[in-house]
Amino acid sequence: MFTNNNIEIGIDLGSTNILVHQKGKGIIFNEPSVVAINTNTKQIEAIGIEAKNMIGKTPEHLEVIYPIKNGVISDYNRTAQILTFLMKKTKFKKSFTFKKLHATITAPTNSTPVERRAIVDALKSCGAKTVQIIENTIAAAIGAGLPVDEPIANMIVDIGGGTTEVAIISYGGVVACHSLKIGGEQLDDDIVQYIRKKYNLLIGTQTAELLKMEAGYATENHEEITTSARGRDLVTGLPKTIPISSKEIHEAMKESLEQMITIIRTTLEECPPELSGDIVDYGIILTGGGALLNGIQQLLNEKINLPVHIAPSPLEAVVIGAGKAIGMKNNNKKVKAAN
């Protein structure tokens, strides 16, 4: 659609990870959604891995934060700063063709027009010539290789860091959808709270995330493993290491996982009957980092009684879909363009 002088990119501004996909090059940026802010100048000093490595080690004038909450940055200025910094880091700003940058950026299904406008304006203020917004779930479906423009219903469950989004997609549009402000970060927090209550031990969220990845199981029945958790004893104030079992980690995450199952059920209940057959035939496609949780496929299969498939690159599906969607905007009725 565009000439070779144009750069076409897809951006996934996730709560946990920011990814940029460039047509012809693939994923060119994939780093944590962390920024280091200079509290004196209010300017961003670092983003991604560089900023994450500063956590706990920053001088007084630097604050390290995760600015994207539940897939949305509420502050327009901060959004513009992050995107400008991102454009510099990905070197688009140095390119003389920058004025021909065409960006597709994803947004949560339930984000407000004000939040979407803020993202579009921020990207345009960075110099993007055209900006289009695509819903996360549609991008995830495209990235997972589903035939979104065909009259076949597909069900996407995207379990990200801050949100779980569920959508039934047919003919390129969302037929039914629900979003929950619970994702992988809540599971980490559940583990922190569980260990604090049961053992009077305070662990960090990064430790909790590692426990989740190594020994966290979505299903109650699994081969039990034991690992160790390191933190600060809340009684003595001293560092302490305790053994912790995969059963306990499952127990900690159980309630949040049940809430995810509930919104999948609710979305299925709203599926028009003539599309239900497709969902029965094709099942549910899982995307987002949460798709990598041990046993999640089995849990959903047992509770929802439908086939469950994990997308080929679950962490990258959304940005790959955003990157591909740029040429699809005339077919995809749910892609909201703001050129």
Ligand X SMILES: Nc1ncnc2c1ncn2[C@@H]1O[C@H](COP(=O)(O)OP(=O)(O)OP(=O)(O)O)[C@@H](O)[C@H]1O
Annotated binding site for ATP: 161-163, 209-212, 289-292
List contacts with ligand X (CB under 6 A). 12, 14-17, 33, 71, 160-163, 183-185, 209, 212-213, 288-290, 292-293, 315
Extract the runs of DSSP E, i.e. beta strands, from 99-162: 101-107, 130-135, 154-159
Q: Which is nearer to ligand X, 181 or 232 (CB)?
A: 181
**Closer by beta carbon to ligand X, 176 or else 322:** 322
Is 261 exposed, middle or buried, given 0-12, 13-18 or 19+ CB atoms closer than 10 A? middle
The answer to whether residues 162 and 16 touch, using CB atoms and an 8 Å cutoff, is yes
Minimum CB separation of residue 14 from ligand X in Å reads 2
Please provide the distance, in angstroms rounded to a whole number, between the alpha carbons at the two ends of the chain.
15
Cβ burial of 74 (10 Å; 0-12, 13-18, 19+) is: middle
315 burial (CB, 10 Å; 0-12 / 13-18 / 19+) is buried
Q: Are 258 and 241 in contact (CB under 8 A)?
A: no
Q: Which residues are annotated as a binding site?
A: 161-163, 209-212, 289-292
Closer to ligand X at the Cβ: 17 or 130? 17
Q: At its nearest, how many Å lie between ligand X and the CB of residue 217?
A: 10
Minimum CB distance to ligand X, residue 137 (Å): 10
Q: How far is the CB of 105 from ligand X (least distance, A)?
A: 12
Pick between residue 48 and residue 275 the one whose CB is nearest to ligand X.
48
Q: Which residues contact 193 (CB under 8 A, 6 or more apart)?
A: 252
